[in-house]
């Protein structure tokens, strides 16, 4: 999925929501805080001496949102997708590489069937993702790219200004083939996220 297409859709959604609600109100602003079970899906070469030691990790996120329309919200946030470790054995002996990923997020959240208690939603957005790989031998590779991401989930209202959310988040591929010098190997992160939203 092309990130430019998603960004264009987000801009169009912002324009439509702003037209529907011209006056801004602090009562429509909310903060988010969440934790994730992440699979970074770090690619490894087809080599029996290369193993993926920890495929999954814990992540966290925080952000701010604006409910521009009863069914449309705009969100900005930060997500830490954790670290994946790969161990390799070569002529120099065993060594490992830790690959971590973080991203700044800008998204549009659509809740097409807004209910009093439960609200299913879809998010589409852009992730400015930074991937860093640090080898136990002292080598570090880093790369930052814009990548599309999408999320599907449901919110549950527990109090007048408090919601709990559960979502599946997919971040499109970041990085390069392991054979490309100077760039970290490819990852394709996915996460199951539990979040809290508090309105001001």
**Reported pTM:** 0.79
- What pLDDT does 43 receive? 64
C-beta separation of 85 from 98 below 8 A: yes
Predicted confidence band at 70 (pLDDT cuts at 50, 70, 90)? confident
Residue 137 has pLDDT above 70, yes or no: yes
3-state class (DSSP) for residue 20? helix
Domain ranges of the chain: 3-199
For residue range 50-66, list pLDDT tens digits in order: 555 556 789 999 999 99
- What pLDDT does 50 receive? 55
Nearest to 107 by CA among 37, 9, 38: 9
- What pLDDT does 19 receive? 44
Q: How far apart are CA 44 and CA 65, in angstroms?
A: 37
pLDDT, average across residues 144-165: 93
- What pLDDT does 22 receive? 42
Between β-strands 50-54 and 162-171, what pairing exists: parallel, antiparallel or unpaired? unpaired
Question: Is 3-199 a domain of CATH 2.40.160.20?
Answer: yes
Predicted confidence band at 169 (pLDDT cuts at 50, 70, 90)? very high
């Amino acid at each position: 999925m092309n990130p430019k297409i998603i960004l264009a859709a987000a801009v169009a959604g912002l324009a439509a929501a702003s037209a529907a609600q011209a006056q801004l109100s602090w009562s429509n602003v909310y903060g988010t805080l969440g934790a994730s079970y992440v699979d970074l899906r770090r690619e490894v070469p087809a080599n029996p001496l290369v193993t993926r030691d920890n495929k999954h990790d814990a992540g966290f996120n925080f952000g701010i949102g604006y409910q521009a329309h009863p069914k449309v919200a705009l969100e900005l946030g930060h997500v830490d997708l954790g670290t994946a470790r790969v161990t390799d054995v070569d002529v120099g002996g065993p060594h490992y590489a830790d690959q971590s990923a973080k991203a700044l997020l800008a998204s549009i959240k659509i809740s097409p069937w807004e209910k009093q208690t439960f609200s299913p939603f879809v998010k589409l957005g852009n992730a400015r993702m930074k991937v860093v790989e640090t080898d136990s031998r002292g080598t570090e590779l880093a790369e930052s790219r814009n990548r599309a991401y999408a999320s599907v989930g449901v919110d549950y209202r527990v109090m007048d200004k408090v919601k709990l959310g559960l979502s599946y988040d997919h971040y499109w591929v970041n990085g390069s083939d392991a054979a490309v010098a100077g760039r970290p190997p490819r990852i394709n992160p996915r996460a199951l996220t539990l979040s809290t939203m508090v309105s001001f």
